[in-house]
């Protein structure tokens, strides 16, 4: 039995080399496992040839592929917010456009989406990144879970399936990577059922991570503190 209705989207920033393979795997999985679907790529102000690659892919996969273009980079949070706003189906799945997660593992999440479940979140079985990134990621994950009282084990795993009507209840404001903390925290506050499943994480083959730069880390830290003050200390913006 096929999954009923699903929007899939990818935030992309200078991910031209990884997008053709990523979308090929995605459409292969969707054709087998989902009855009604759409795929969206948010081109977040890329300055490589992402736009040209996406135009070719849009023609190839029409009418199922849509492209949302930001003329200027809005940050990871801005890209996710555009993706969520553009999704039209009953459920929304997203992962990153850099190819470090395999869309072929999407069916593992679909199997866990019951009528009571609002979020199915992946967790990395093993992280394939340089040692310093693994350490920073683990520290960030630990601190964010502690500060915000988040239950899922891997906030940093952007391999998520979400019921869209819950997304319509939450108001997301983050523009950096802190949007993952804000998203999960606010979804958990709706008291929806949350399921988790292990997924594989692969080495990045193209480009460089935008998160693990000094400026990006500083921005994320500042936004994390502001978010904590707003939703935990002042208890504003619960949804």
Is 30 within 8 Å of 39 (Cβ atoms)?
Answer: yes
CA distances from 67 to 20, 35, 93 (A): 14, 21, 16
pTM: 0.91
- The domain segmentation of the chain, as residue ranges, is 3-233
Distance CA 52, CA 32 (A): 28
Instruction: Assess if CATH 3.90.550.10 describes domain 3-233.
Output: yes
HSE-CB of 90 using CA atoms within 13 angstroms:
11
DSSP character for 89?
Answer: S
CA angle 45, 46, 47 (to 5 degrees): 115
Residue 2, pLDDT score:
93
**Strands 159-163, 117-124: parallel, antiparallel or unpaired by DSSP?**
antiparallel
The whole-number mean pLDDT for each consecutive block of 10 residues of the chain, a chain of 239 residues, reads: 95 97 98 98 97 97 98 95 98 96 97 97 90 84 91 95 96 91 95 97 74 64 84 65
Element housing 219 (H / E): helix 214-228
């Amino acid at each position: 039995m096929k999954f009923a209705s699903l929007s899939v989207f990818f935030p992309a920033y200078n991910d031209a080399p990884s997008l053709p393979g990523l979308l090929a795997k995605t459409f292969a999985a969707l054709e087998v496992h989902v009855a009604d679907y759409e795929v969206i790529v948010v081109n977040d102000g890329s300055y490589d040839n992402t736009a040209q690659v996406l135009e070719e892919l849009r023609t190839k996969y029409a009418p199922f592929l849509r492209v949302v273009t930001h003329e200027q980079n809005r940050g990871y949070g801005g890209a996710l917010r555009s993706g969520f706003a553009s999704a039209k189906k009953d459920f929304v799945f997203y992962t990153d456009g850099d190819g470090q997660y395999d869309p072929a593992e999407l069916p593992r999440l679909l199997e866990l989406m019951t009528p009571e479940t609002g979020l199915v979140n992946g967790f990395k079985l093993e992280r394939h990144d340089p040692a310093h990134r693994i350490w920073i990621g683990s520290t960030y994950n630990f601190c964010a879970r502690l500060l915000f009282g988040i239950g899922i084990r891997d906030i940093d795993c952007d391999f998520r399936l979400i019921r869209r009507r819950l997304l319509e209840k939450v108001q997301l404001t983050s523009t950096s990577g802190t949007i993952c903390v804000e998203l999960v925290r606010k979804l958990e506050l709706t008291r929806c059922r949350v399921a988790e499943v292990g997924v594989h994480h692969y080495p990045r083959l193209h480009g460089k991570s935008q998160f693990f730069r000094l400026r990006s880390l500083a921005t994320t830290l500042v936004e994390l503190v502001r978010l904590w003050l707003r939703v935990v200390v002042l208890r504003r913006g619960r949804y």
